[in-house]
Amino acid sequence: MKSSINTSNRVILFSGGIDSLYTALLLPNARLLYCKAGFSHQKKDLNSITNFERITKRKVIIENSLNLKSFETKNFETIFCRNLLFATIAGNYGNNIYLGGIRGDNALDKSPQAFKSMSFLLTQIGGKNFSIKSLLWQFTKTEIVKEILNFKDGKDLLLNSVSCYSSSSRHCGKCGSCFRRWVAMTNNNIQEGYEFPPWQWEEVPNYIQRMKQGLYDTKRTKETFKALRQYGISI
C-alpha cells in the first residue's frame, strides 16, 4: 500500500530564477533543491543561489547526481522530459514536489496536465504517493515580480536572481528566458543590465507575430507588448 502524502514533506526545485524564488518565499519551510545538470549557465545559477542564501539565511541543497550536458542545445527548454528528470531526483527529498510553472508556459513538460501525469507516474512506480505541482499557474511573470516586491528584501532578491541560458556571467539579453525576465522587470519599473538589449533581440519580431496570431496567453501577450512599447517598439 502506498503511503499518504506528508504535507510537511515539501521540496522545491530551486533554480535561482524568478518563479522558483517566489515559490520559495511562499513556502518558507520547504526544502530547496538545485540539480546540477552540467548546463552552460550552471555557474551563474550557483552564484545566484549563494546570494539567495546570504540574503534569506536559507540553505539550498545542491544535488550532483544528474548530468544532462550532452543533451544541451541552443533552445534549453527542448531537452526531453527535463522536468520529469528533475522531479524524479526531487522525489528522494520529499513527495510534495514544487516546480515554477506559470501562466502562459508553453513547454510540454510544464503544464498542469503534465504535472498531473508526472505525479501519477512517480506514484505508480515509486512505492508512495507523489504530488508534483506549481502554486503559480494563475500568475504571469510580471505579476510574480510584483508579488515578490512585497516581501522583505524582495527587490534585492529579484536583482540577484538569474534567468539566462548563456554561459556568460551576466544576463545575455538574447535568449527567451532573458526576454521574459526583461518584460516582467520592465513592467514593474526595475532596470538592470544585459549584455545585449532584449528589446532588440532578433527573435522579438517572431514573438510579436506569433502573439498577434493568438498563439500565446492573452495576458502574457498584453504584458509583452506593454514592455516593448515603453522602448519604442511598434506593435
CATH of 10-133 given 3.40.50.2300, 3.30.10.20, 3.40.50.620, 3.90.1150.10: 3.40.50.620
| pLDDT at residue number 8 | 54
| pLDDT at residue number 7 | 43
- DSSP per-residue codes, 95-125: SEEE---BTT---TTSSHHHHHHHHHHHHHH
pTM for the whole structure: 0.92
Q: Where are the alpha helices (DSSP H) in the chain?
A: 18-26, 42-56, 82-90, 112-126, 141-148, 154-160, 176-186, 204-212, 218-230
| pLDDT at residue number 68 | 84
pLDDT means per 10 residues in the chain (235 residues)? 54 97 98 91 94 98 89 69 94 96 90 97 95 98 99 98 90 95 99 96 96 96 98 92
Domain ranges of the chain: 10-133, 164-230
| pLDDT at residue number 78 | 65
| pLDDT at residue number 79 | 77
As a whole number of angstroms, the distance between CA 131 and CA 15 comes to 19
| pLDDT at residue number 3 | 42
